[in-house]
Structure 1
Amino acid sequence: YATCLCARYQANPTEKHLKEVKRIFRYFRGTVNTGLWYTNDYGFELTGFSDADYAGCKDTFKSTSGGAQFLGEKLVSWSSKKRDCTALSTAKAEYVSLSACCAQEHVEKGTIELYFVKTDYQLADIFTKALPTDCFNYLVRRLCMRSLSPKELEHLEKSQ
């Protein structure tokens, strides 16, 4: 999320943006051994999470939508996008996010089911807004991301 937010100002960056980019690089340096971790399970249940903020961009007041899709426990797709239209309410922001996926038709046909997910457990939040550290770390674990030492990575490479 932070990288996308900073990218919006690349044409006219300020000192504040440079400071944030440096913070992002420090984060990258500390998580160089972090990546998606897929187990050998064979679950094929498709689960998706979608969310949108309300006028989250302070310059254009446009909303950001995000989503994550899992096949079993494996993260297979994710996205974050600033919407082209400005939502007039949080409900409209959510609708815009869902309508982009043509979900309404599938709900009516019974092809998919929609459930409300409290913000504490909403995986799509990691793609749409800045989060407190504890919430961010929780969601990173839920996305099946793990941090492995160089020794562990070497061991995994040899066992392949």
Structure 2
Amino acid sequence: MIGSLLYLTASRPNIMFSVFLCARFQADPKESHLTAVKRIFRYLLGTQGLGIWYPRHSTSFKIVGFSDSDFAGCKVDRKSTSGTCQFIG
């Protein structure tokens, strides 16, 4: 079950945190982990029709994206950070 959810995270990033949290317990799963996985599947079934639809022939529609990154910018542990932001409108 977790494998199929991991596959879905490519197109549904909103479930990524929950799926990866459940994947950590694959070696020794409990009943509560199965309940969490079932809850993720119920969420996916309930949100099948939701999404962002882009107009095909619109002159006022514009997508603008920005990104920034910092290589080893943290002075303590030398970790890199990055971020993106997209505006649709």
What is the TM-score of this pair, normalised by structure 1? Answer: 0.29
What is the TM-score of this pair, normalised by structure 2? Answer: 0.47
Structure with greater contact order relative to length (CA < 8 Å, sep ≥ 6): 1
